Structure 1
Amino acid sequence: MKQQIMFDLDDTLIHCNKYFYLVIDQFIDAMTTWFGSSSLVTVQAIRDKQMEIDIAGVAVFGFKSEHFPQSFVDTYIHFSHLTGRKRSTNEENFLWKLGLSVYEHDTEPYPNMEQTLFSLSESGHELHLYTGGELPIQRRKIEKLNLERYFESRIYIRRLKNSDSLESILSTGQFDRSSTWMVGNSIRTDVVPALTAGIHAIHMRAVTEWEYNVVQIEVEPKGAFLTLDHLKDVPDAIHGYVNR
Protein backbone atom coordinates (compact mmCIF):
# COMPACT_ATOMS: atom_id res chain seq x y z
CA MET A 1 0.00 0.00 0.00
CA LYS A 2 1.38 3.39 -1.04
CA GLN A 3 2.53 5.60 1.84
CA GLN A 4 3.35 9.30 1.98
CA ILE A 5 6.66 9.58 3.81
CA MET A 6 8.00 12.91 5.02
CA PHE A 7 11.69 13.14 5.91
CA ASP A 8 13.50 15.71 7.98
CA LEU A 9 16.80 16.81 6.44
CA ASP A 10 19.38 17.86 9.05
CA ASP A 11 20.64 14.99 11.22
CA THR A 12 18.15 12.64 9.61
CA LEU A 13 19.38 12.47 6.01
CA ILE A 14 22.53 14.57 6.31
CA HIS A 15 24.99 15.46 9.06
CA CYS A 16 24.46 18.80 10.76
CA ASN A 17 25.00 18.85 14.52
CA LYS A 18 28.57 17.60 14.32
CA TYR A 19 29.58 20.74 12.42
CA PHE A 20 27.92 22.96 15.02
CA TYR A 21 29.72 21.09 17.80
CA LEU A 22 33.03 21.54 15.98
CA VAL A 23 32.54 25.30 15.66
CA ILE A 24 31.35 25.55 19.28
CA ASP A 25 34.58 23.86 20.38
CA GLN A 26 36.55 26.46 18.39
CA PHE A 27 34.50 29.19 20.06
CA ILE A 28 35.28 27.78 23.50
CA ASP A 29 38.99 27.61 22.65
CA ALA A 30 38.95 31.31 21.75
CA MET A 31 37.02 32.25 24.88
CA THR A 32 39.30 30.35 27.24
CA THR A 33 42.31 31.97 25.58
CA TRP A 34 40.90 35.46 26.05
CA PHE A 35 39.40 34.94 29.51
CA GLY A 36 41.85 32.30 30.74
CA SER A 37 42.85 34.19 33.88
CA SER A 38 39.28 34.24 35.24
CA SER A 39 37.93 31.36 37.33
CA LEU A 40 34.42 32.42 36.28
CA VAL A 41 34.99 31.52 32.63
CA THR A 42 35.28 27.74 32.54
CA VAL A 43 34.71 25.50 29.55
CA GLN A 44 31.42 24.26 31.01
CA ALA A 45 30.25 27.77 31.92
CA ILE A 46 30.89 28.96 28.36
CA ARG A 47 29.18 25.92 26.86
CA ASP A 48 26.14 26.26 29.13
CA LYS A 49 25.68 30.00 28.50
CA GLN A 50 26.02 29.67 24.73
CA MET A 51 23.48 26.82 24.70
CA GLU A 52 21.09 28.80 26.88
CA ILE A 53 21.25 31.82 24.56
CA ASP A 54 21.05 29.67 21.43
CA ILE A 55 17.99 27.70 22.54
CA ALA A 56 16.18 30.81 23.77
CA GLY A 57 16.68 32.49 20.40
CA VAL A 58 15.60 29.50 18.31
CA ALA A 59 12.42 29.17 20.36
CA VAL A 60 11.49 32.78 19.53
CA PHE A 61 12.93 33.43 16.08
CA GLY A 62 13.23 29.97 14.53
CA PHE A 63 16.18 28.75 12.48
CA LYS A 64 17.76 32.04 11.33
CA SER A 65 21.35 31.81 10.16
CA GLU A 66 22.35 34.99 12.03
CA HIS A 67 21.16 33.59 15.33
CA PHE A 68 24.01 31.10 15.83
CA PRO A 69 26.88 33.62 15.45
CA GLN A 70 24.90 36.07 17.56
CA SER A 71 24.84 33.50 20.37
CA PHE A 72 28.66 33.54 20.30
CA VAL A 73 28.80 37.33 20.50
CA ASP A 74 26.15 37.49 23.23
CA THR A 75 28.01 34.86 25.27
CA TYR A 76 31.21 36.87 24.85
CA ILE A 77 29.42 40.04 26.00
CA HIS A 78 27.98 38.20 29.01
CA PHE A 79 31.39 37.10 30.24
CA SER A 80 32.93 40.49 29.47
CA HIS A 81 30.39 42.09 31.80
CA LEU A 82 30.81 39.32 34.37
CA THR A 83 34.59 39.64 34.56
CA GLY A 84 35.03 43.31 33.76
CA ARG A 85 37.24 42.45 30.79
CA LYS A 86 37.11 45.11 28.09
CA ARG A 87 35.25 44.14 24.93
CA SER A 88 37.06 44.10 21.61
CA THR A 89 35.43 44.81 18.25
CA ASN A 90 38.02 42.60 16.57
CA GLU A 91 37.18 39.70 18.88
CA GLU A 92 33.45 40.14 18.34
CA ASN A 93 33.93 40.23 14.56
CA PHE A 94 36.04 37.09 14.78
CA LEU A 95 33.28 35.29 16.71
CA TRP A 96 30.63 36.43 14.23
CA LYS A 97 32.61 35.05 11.29
CA LEU A 98 33.37 31.86 13.22
CA GLY A 99 29.67 31.30 13.87
CA LEU A 100 28.76 31.84 10.22
CA SER A 101 31.45 29.38 9.12
CA VAL A 102 29.25 26.48 10.24
CA TYR A 103 27.15 26.96 7.10
CA GLU A 104 30.17 26.53 4.82
CA HIS A 105 30.83 22.87 5.62
CA ASP A 106 30.29 20.19 3.01
CA THR A 107 26.94 18.42 2.82
CA GLU A 108 27.58 14.89 4.07
CA PRO A 109 24.82 12.26 3.81
CA TYR A 110 24.11 9.84 6.61
CA PRO A 111 25.07 6.21 5.92
CA ASN A 112 22.60 4.50 3.57
CA MET A 113 20.70 7.69 2.77
CA GLU A 114 20.74 6.99 -0.95
CA GLN A 115 19.84 3.33 -0.50
CA THR A 116 16.93 4.17 1.79
CA LEU A 117 15.37 6.84 -0.42
CA PHE A 118 15.85 4.71 -3.54
CA SER A 119 14.24 1.67 -1.90
CA LEU A 120 11.19 3.60 -0.73
CA SER A 121 10.79 5.37 -4.05
CA GLU A 122 11.12 2.13 -6.03
CA SER A 123 8.45 0.58 -3.79
CA GLY A 124 6.00 3.22 -5.01
CA HIS A 125 5.89 5.45 -1.95
CA GLU A 126 5.58 9.23 -2.26
CA LEU A 127 8.50 10.99 -0.58
CA HIS A 128 8.36 14.48 0.92
CA LEU A 129 11.11 16.60 2.49
CA TYR A 130 10.31 18.89 5.42
CA THR A 131 13.17 20.90 6.89
CA GLY A 132 13.73 23.88 9.15
CA GLY A 133 16.04 26.74 8.27
CA GLU A 134 16.60 29.52 5.77
CA LEU A 135 15.67 28.90 2.15
CA PRO A 136 19.08 29.58 0.50
CA ILE A 137 21.02 27.47 3.01
CA GLN A 138 18.65 24.50 2.92
CA ARG A 139 18.28 24.69 -0.87
CA ARG A 140 22.05 24.55 -1.26
CA LYS A 141 22.19 21.34 0.76
CA ILE A 142 19.33 19.80 -1.22
CA GLU A 143 20.87 20.70 -4.57
CA LYS A 144 24.32 19.50 -3.49
CA LEU A 145 22.98 15.95 -3.09
CA ASN A 146 20.45 16.25 -5.92
CA LEU A 147 17.63 15.24 -3.57
CA GLU A 148 15.00 16.49 -6.02
CA ARG A 149 15.43 13.08 -7.66
CA TYR A 150 13.37 11.63 -4.85
CA PHE A 151 11.30 14.56 -3.57
CA GLU A 152 10.67 16.52 -6.80
CA SER A 153 8.61 19.60 -5.82
CA ARG A 154 7.47 18.06 -2.53
CA ILE A 155 9.95 20.08 -0.48
CA TYR A 156 8.90 22.29 2.44
CA ILE A 157 11.37 24.69 4.09
CA ARG A 158 10.14 26.55 7.16
CA ARG A 159 11.96 28.92 9.51
CA LEU A 160 9.78 27.77 12.40
CA LYS A 161 9.31 24.01 12.48
CA ASN A 162 6.53 23.12 14.92
CA SER A 163 3.04 21.63 15.14
CA ASP A 164 1.43 24.61 13.38
CA SER A 165 3.89 24.40 10.49
CA LEU A 166 3.32 20.69 9.97
CA GLU A 167 -0.45 21.05 10.30
CA SER A 168 -0.40 23.75 7.62
CA ILE A 169 1.47 21.46 5.21
CA LEU A 170 -0.86 18.54 5.87
CA SER A 171 -4.02 20.66 5.62
CA THR A 172 -3.11 22.36 2.36
CA GLY A 173 -1.70 19.25 0.69
CA GLN A 174 -3.31 16.02 -0.42
CA PHE A 175 -2.37 13.83 2.50
CA ASP A 176 -4.13 10.77 3.87
CA ARG A 177 -3.09 10.94 7.50
CA SER A 178 -3.64 7.23 8.01
CA SER A 179 -0.83 6.54 5.53
CA THR A 180 1.42 9.53 6.19
CA TRP A 181 4.72 9.29 8.07
CA MET A 182 7.17 11.74 9.59
CA VAL A 183 10.77 10.51 9.86
CA GLY A 184 13.16 12.67 11.88
CA ASN A 185 15.66 12.96 14.70
CA SER A 186 14.00 15.75 16.68
CA ILE A 187 11.40 14.86 19.27
CA ARG A 188 10.44 18.55 19.49
CA THR A 189 10.15 19.44 15.81
CA ASP A 190 9.49 16.07 14.14
CA VAL A 191 7.95 13.52 16.49
CA VAL A 192 5.63 15.58 18.70
CA PRO A 193 4.16 17.59 15.78
CA ALA A 194 3.59 14.35 13.84
CA LEU A 195 1.83 12.65 16.73
CA THR A 196 -0.20 15.80 17.38
CA ALA A 197 -1.31 15.81 13.74
CA GLY A 198 -2.35 12.16 13.95
CA ILE A 199 0.21 10.76 11.52
CA HIS A 200 2.78 8.01 11.98
CA ALA A 201 6.18 8.94 13.41
CA ILE A 202 9.63 7.40 13.26
CA HIS A 203 12.19 8.86 15.64
CA MET A 204 15.70 8.51 14.25
CA ARG A 205 17.76 8.43 17.40
CA ALA A 206 20.92 10.56 17.27
CA VAL A 207 24.21 9.60 18.89
CA THR A 208 24.44 13.09 20.40
CA GLU A 209 21.30 15.18 20.36
CA TRP A 210 20.96 18.96 20.59
CA GLU A 211 19.28 19.83 23.87
CA TYR A 212 16.63 21.90 22.07
CA ASN A 213 15.33 18.76 20.37
CA VAL A 214 14.74 16.84 23.61
CA VAL A 215 11.27 17.25 25.15
CA GLN A 216 8.75 15.02 26.87
CA ILE A 217 6.22 13.26 24.64
CA GLU A 218 2.76 13.84 26.07
CA VAL A 219 0.73 12.94 22.98
CA GLU A 220 -0.95 9.57 22.55
CA PRO A 221 -0.04 8.09 19.14
CA LYS A 222 -2.98 7.38 16.82
CA GLY A 223 -0.83 5.19 14.59
CA ALA A 224 2.74 3.95 14.54
CA PHE A 225 5.42 5.45 16.74
CA LEU A 226 8.75 3.76 16.13
CA THR A 227 12.33 4.47 17.19
CA LEU A 228 15.22 3.47 14.93
CA ASP A 229 18.98 3.97 14.94
CA HIS A 230 19.76 3.52 11.24
CA LEU A 231 18.19 4.92 8.07
CA LYS A 232 18.49 1.59 6.30
CA ASP A 233 15.92 0.15 8.72
CA VAL A 234 13.19 2.63 7.72
CA PRO A 235 11.78 0.75 4.67
CA ASP A 236 11.38 -2.55 6.53
CA ALA A 237 9.90 -0.78 9.56
CA ILE A 238 7.25 0.95 7.46
CA HIS A 239 6.46 -2.14 5.39
CA GLY A 240 6.30 -4.24 8.55
CA TYR A 241 3.76 -1.90 10.12
CA VAL A 242 1.64 -1.53 6.98
CA ASN A 243 1.57 -5.29 6.35
CA ARG A 244 1.13 -6.35 9.97
Structure 2
Amino acid sequence: MPQFPAGQTLLIDADDTLWENNIYFERAIAAFTGYLNHQKYTREQVRETLNGVERESILMHGYGLHSFTHSLITCFERLSTEPVTEEKRDRIRSFAGSIRDQEIELLPHVSETLTDLSMRHRLILMTKGNHAEQADKLARSRLAPFFSAVEIVAEKDPPTYAAVVARHELTPHSTWMIGNSPRSDINPALAAGLHAVHLFHPDTWILEHAELARPLDRQHLIELNAFVKLSELF
Protein backbone atom coordinates (compact mmCIF):
# COMPACT_ATOMS: atom_id res chain seq x y z
CA MET A 1 0.00 0.00 0.00
CA PRO A 2 1.37 3.48 -0.87
CA GLN A 3 2.78 5.50 2.01
CA PHE A 4 1.19 8.80 0.98
CA PRO A 5 -2.51 9.37 0.33
CA ALA A 6 -4.12 10.10 -3.01
CA GLY A 7 -4.30 13.69 -4.15
CA GLN A 8 -0.60 14.54 -4.13
CA THR A 9 0.87 16.70 -6.89
CA LEU A 10 3.92 15.11 -8.49
CA LEU A 11 6.24 17.36 -10.49
CA ILE A 12 8.23 14.93 -12.61
CA ASP A 13 11.49 15.61 -14.43
CA ALA A 14 11.99 14.31 -17.99
CA ASP A 15 15.63 13.76 -19.09
CA ASP A 16 17.21 10.80 -17.27
CA THR A 17 14.08 10.43 -15.16
CA LEU A 18 11.54 9.34 -17.79
CA TRP A 19 13.92 8.61 -20.67
CA GLU A 20 17.62 8.26 -21.35
CA ASN A 21 19.40 11.46 -22.26
CA ASN A 22 22.91 11.99 -20.93
CA ILE A 23 24.29 8.71 -22.30
CA TYR A 24 23.92 10.15 -25.81
CA PHE A 25 25.83 13.27 -24.86
CA GLU A 26 28.55 11.11 -23.31
CA ARG A 27 28.89 9.16 -26.55
CA ALA A 28 29.20 12.40 -28.50
CA ILE A 29 31.85 13.64 -26.06
CA ALA A 30 33.80 10.41 -26.44
CA ALA A 31 33.76 10.80 -30.23
CA PHE A 32 34.79 14.44 -29.89
CA THR A 33 37.66 13.60 -27.55
CA GLY A 34 38.98 10.99 -29.96
CA TYR A 35 38.71 13.39 -32.89
CA LEU A 36 40.67 16.08 -31.06
CA ASN A 37 43.72 13.81 -31.45
CA HIS A 38 45.38 15.57 -28.57
CA GLN A 39 48.87 14.73 -27.39
CA LYS A 40 49.38 17.55 -24.95
CA TYR A 41 46.28 16.85 -22.85
CA THR A 42 44.86 13.75 -21.21
CA ARG A 43 41.22 12.77 -21.69
CA GLU A 44 40.59 13.93 -18.15
CA GLN A 45 42.05 17.35 -18.90
CA VAL A 46 39.96 17.62 -22.07
CA ARG A 47 36.82 16.78 -20.09
CA GLU A 48 37.68 19.30 -17.40
CA THR A 49 38.09 21.99 -20.05
CA LEU A 50 34.82 21.00 -21.70
CA ASN A 51 32.98 21.14 -18.38
CA GLY A 52 34.21 24.69 -17.88
CA VAL A 53 33.23 25.70 -21.39
CA GLU A 54 29.77 24.20 -20.91
CA ARG A 55 29.26 26.29 -17.78
CA GLU A 56 30.10 29.38 -19.82
CA SER A 57 27.83 28.34 -22.69
CA ILE A 58 24.87 27.75 -20.39
CA LEU A 59 25.07 31.35 -19.20
CA MET A 60 25.02 32.62 -22.78
CA HIS A 61 22.91 30.06 -24.61
CA GLY A 62 21.00 28.08 -22.00
CA TYR A 63 20.63 24.32 -22.30
CA GLY A 64 20.14 22.12 -25.34
CA LEU A 65 21.95 21.01 -28.46
CA HIS A 66 22.80 24.50 -29.69
CA SER A 67 24.61 25.25 -26.43
CA PHE A 68 26.30 21.84 -26.42
CA THR A 69 27.49 22.25 -30.01
CA HIS A 70 28.89 25.68 -29.19
CA SER A 71 30.73 24.14 -26.23
CA LEU A 72 32.34 21.40 -28.31
CA ILE A 73 33.57 23.84 -30.96
CA THR A 74 34.88 26.31 -28.38
CA CYS A 75 36.67 23.54 -26.48
CA PHE A 76 38.21 22.27 -29.72
CA GLU A 77 39.42 25.76 -30.61
CA ARG A 78 41.05 26.17 -27.20
CA LEU A 79 42.85 22.83 -27.19
CA SER A 80 43.64 22.06 -30.80
CA THR A 81 47.32 22.27 -31.73
CA GLU A 82 46.39 22.73 -35.39
CA PRO A 83 44.32 25.39 -37.19
CA VAL A 84 40.57 24.84 -36.81
CA THR A 85 39.03 24.73 -40.27
CA GLU A 86 35.35 24.94 -41.14
CA GLU A 87 35.56 21.29 -42.19
CA LYS A 88 36.65 20.40 -38.68
CA ARG A 89 33.86 22.49 -37.19
CA ASP A 90 31.35 20.62 -39.37
CA ARG A 91 32.75 17.34 -38.14
CA ILE A 92 32.30 18.46 -34.55
CA ARG A 93 28.75 19.58 -35.30
CA SER A 94 28.03 16.07 -36.54
CA PHE A 95 28.87 14.64 -33.11
CA ALA A 96 26.24 16.85 -31.51
CA GLY A 97 23.84 16.22 -34.38
CA SER A 98 23.91 12.50 -33.68
CA ILE A 99 22.06 13.18 -30.43
CA ARG A 100 19.10 14.67 -32.26
CA ASP A 101 18.67 11.47 -34.26
CA GLN A 102 18.29 9.23 -31.20
CA GLU A 103 15.01 7.47 -30.60
CA ILE A 104 13.35 8.14 -27.27
CA GLU A 105 14.34 5.31 -24.93
CA LEU A 106 12.05 5.21 -21.92
CA LEU A 107 13.55 4.06 -18.67
CA PRO A 108 12.22 0.77 -17.26
CA HIS A 109 8.55 0.63 -16.26
CA VAL A 110 7.93 4.34 -16.86
CA SER A 111 4.68 3.97 -18.84
CA GLU A 112 3.00 1.54 -16.49
CA THR A 113 4.11 3.49 -13.42
CA LEU A 114 2.73 6.75 -14.83
CA THR A 115 -0.50 4.95 -15.64
CA ASP A 116 -0.76 3.84 -12.03
CA LEU A 117 0.22 7.18 -10.48
CA SER A 118 -2.10 9.22 -12.70
CA MET A 119 -5.09 7.34 -11.31
CA ARG A 120 -4.48 8.75 -7.81
CA HIS A 121 -2.44 11.93 -8.20
CA ARG A 122 -1.97 15.05 -10.30
CA LEU A 123 1.09 14.76 -12.52
CA ILE A 124 2.90 17.78 -13.96
CA LEU A 125 5.95 17.41 -16.19
CA MET A 126 8.64 19.85 -15.14
CA THR A 127 11.79 19.91 -17.24
CA LYS A 128 14.39 22.50 -18.18
CA GLY A 129 16.07 23.17 -21.49
CA ASN A 130 15.33 24.36 -24.98
CA HIS A 131 11.54 24.56 -25.30
CA ALA A 132 11.29 23.16 -28.82
CA GLU A 133 13.68 20.28 -28.09
CA GLN A 134 11.96 19.27 -24.86
CA ALA A 135 8.48 19.53 -26.38
CA ASP A 136 9.61 17.36 -29.30
CA LYS A 137 10.98 14.69 -26.97
CA LEU A 138 7.78 14.69 -24.96
CA ALA A 139 5.71 14.28 -28.13
CA ARG A 140 7.89 11.41 -29.35
CA SER A 141 7.76 9.73 -25.94
CA ARG A 142 3.94 9.51 -26.12
CA LEU A 143 3.79 10.24 -22.40
CA ALA A 144 2.02 13.62 -22.63
CA PRO A 145 -1.49 12.24 -21.87
CA PHE A 146 -0.37 11.32 -18.36
CA PHE A 147 0.29 14.95 -17.41
CA SER A 148 -2.25 17.61 -16.56
CA ALA A 149 0.29 20.31 -17.40
CA VAL A 150 3.77 20.72 -18.82
CA GLU A 151 6.37 23.20 -17.55
CA ILE A 152 9.48 23.66 -19.73
CA VAL A 153 11.64 26.17 -17.90
CA ALA A 154 14.96 27.85 -18.61
CA GLU A 155 16.37 26.95 -15.20
CA LYS A 156 15.25 25.09 -12.11
CA ASP A 157 15.87 27.28 -9.09
CA PRO A 158 13.78 28.15 -6.02
CA PRO A 159 12.02 31.14 -7.66
CA THR A 160 11.04 28.95 -10.63
CA TYR A 161 9.56 26.32 -8.35
CA ALA A 162 7.72 29.02 -6.41
CA ALA A 163 6.32 30.39 -9.66
CA VAL A 164 5.09 26.94 -10.73
CA VAL A 165 3.43 26.44 -7.34
CA ALA A 166 1.66 29.79 -7.68
CA ARG A 167 0.69 29.30 -11.32
CA HIS A 168 -0.97 25.95 -10.67
CA GLU A 169 -2.26 26.87 -7.20
CA LEU A 170 -0.42 23.99 -5.58
CA THR A 171 -0.17 23.23 -1.90
CA PRO A 172 3.50 22.79 -0.90
CA HIS A 173 2.86 20.20 1.79
CA SER A 174 1.34 17.85 -0.80
CA THR A 175 3.63 18.71 -3.73
CA TRP A 176 6.71 16.69 -4.68
CA MET A 177 9.54 17.16 -7.14
CA ILE A 178 10.77 13.86 -8.59
CA GLY A 179 13.99 13.67 -10.57
CA ASN A 180 17.57 12.51 -10.89
CA SER A 181 19.46 15.79 -10.47
CA PRO A 182 20.43 16.94 -6.98
CA ARG A 183 21.34 20.39 -8.31
CA SER A 184 18.17 21.04 -10.33
CA ASP A 185 15.45 18.69 -9.11
CA ILE A 186 16.06 18.16 -5.43
CA ASN A 187 17.89 20.98 -3.69
CA PRO A 188 15.99 23.96 -5.17
CA ALA A 189 12.65 22.18 -4.71
CA LEU A 190 13.43 21.65 -1.03
CA ALA A 191 14.50 25.29 -0.78
CA ALA A 192 11.11 26.26 -2.22
CA GLY A 193 9.34 24.31 0.52
CA LEU A 194 8.38 21.20 -1.48
CA HIS A 195 9.04 17.54 -0.82
CA ALA A 196 11.39 15.64 -3.13
CA VAL A 197 12.20 12.18 -4.42
CA HIS A 198 15.70 11.64 -5.75
CA LEU A 199 15.73 8.96 -8.44
CA PHE A 200 19.32 7.82 -8.80
CA HIS A 201 20.62 7.53 -12.36
CA PRO A 202 24.19 6.28 -12.85
CA ASP A 203 24.80 8.58 -15.83
CA THR A 204 23.52 11.86 -14.44
CA TRP A 205 25.32 14.78 -16.11
CA ILE A 206 28.35 15.82 -14.07
CA LEU A 207 27.18 19.45 -13.99
CA GLU A 208 24.03 18.28 -12.20
CA HIS A 209 25.97 16.62 -9.39
CA ALA A 210 25.71 18.11 -5.91
CA GLU A 211 25.42 16.97 -2.33
CA LEU A 212 21.78 16.43 -1.45
CA ALA A 213 20.39 19.13 0.81
CA ARG A 214 18.85 18.19 4.14
CA PRO A 215 15.08 18.57 4.33
CA LEU A 216 13.61 20.89 6.91
CA ASP A 217 11.12 19.85 9.56
CA ARG A 218 8.00 18.28 8.02
CA GLN A 219 9.71 18.01 4.64
CA HIS A 220 10.35 14.64 3.03
CA LEU A 221 13.39 13.66 0.96
CA ILE A 222 13.23 10.09 -0.29
CA GLU A 223 15.90 8.34 -2.35
CA LEU A 224 14.96 5.62 -4.84
CA ASN A 225 16.86 3.69 -7.49
CA ALA A 226 13.99 2.81 -9.85
CA PHE A 227 11.01 4.71 -11.27
CA VAL A 228 8.65 1.81 -10.63
CA LYS A 229 9.19 2.17 -6.87
CA LEU A 230 7.21 5.42 -6.94
CA SER A 231 4.05 3.30 -6.89
CA GLU A 232 5.10 2.01 -3.48
CA LEU A 233 5.23 5.60 -2.20
CA PHE A 234 2.25 7.15 -3.95
Aligned-partner SS, 1:13: coil
Q: Does structure 1 residue 129 correspond to structure 2 residue 125?
A: yes
What's the TM-score, normalizing by structure 2?
Answer: 0.91
TM alignment of 1:15-30, pairs within 5 A: 15-30=20-35
Q: Does structure 1 residue 51 correspond to structure 2 residue 85?
A: no
Corresponding position of 2:9: 4
Task: Decide whether aligned partners of structure 1 residues 233 and 59 sit closer, same or farther in structure 2, where only a CA change above 3 A counts.
Answer: farther
Aligned-partner SS, 2:210: coil
Contact map agreement 1:128 1:151 (CA 8 A) in 2:
yes
Q: Does structure 1 residue 140 correspond to structure 2 residue 145?
A: no
- Say which of 157, 165, 170 aligns to 2:165: 170
- Say which of 91, 95, 106 aligns to 1:94: 91
Corresponding position of 1:236: 232
Q: Provide the C-alpha distance between the structure 1 equivalents of 2:98 and 2:71, rounded to a whole number of angstroms.
A: 14
Point out which structure has higher relative CO (alpha carbons under 8 A, 6+ apart): 2
- Say which of 200, 204, 224 aligns to 2:199: 204
- Say which of 153, 163, 175 aligns to 1:180: 175
Q: Provide the C-alpha distance between the structure 2 equivalents of 1:135 and 1:216, rounded to a whole number of angstroms.
A: 28
Corresponding position of 2:3: none
> How many pairs does the alignment contain?
228
- Say which of 2, 10, 18 aligns to 1:13: 18
* Range with greater deviation from structure 2 (215-224 or 64-73): 215-224
Contact map agreement 2:65 2:96 (CA 8 A) in 1:
no
What's the TM-score, normalizing by structure 1?
Answer: 0.87
Identity of aligned residues (%): 24
Contact map agreement 1:62 1:161 (CA 8 A) in 2:
no
Deviation at 1:41, TM superposition (A): 2.8
Q: Does structure 1 residue 214 correspond to structure 2 residue 219?
A: no
Contact map agreement 1:28 1:46 (CA 8 A) in 2:
yes
Aligned-partner SS, 1:156: strand
Aligned-partner SS, 1:66: helix
* Range with greater deviation from structure 2 (214-223 or 126-135): 214-223
Q: Provide the C-alpha distance between the structure 1 equivalents of 2:220 and 2:60, rounded to a whole number of angstroms.
A: 31
Q: 5+ unaligned residues in a row in structure 2: which ranges?
A: 1-5
Deviation at 1:29, TM superposition (A): 1.5
Amino acid of the residue matched to residue 67 of structure 1?
Answer: S
Deviation at 1:218, TM superposition (A): 4.3
Residues 32-88 of structure 1 deviation map (CA, whole Å, 9 limit, x = unaligned): 2xx4xx3x13222222211221133225543143110111111111113xx3x2222
Amino acid of the residue matched to residue 157 of structure 2?
Answer: N
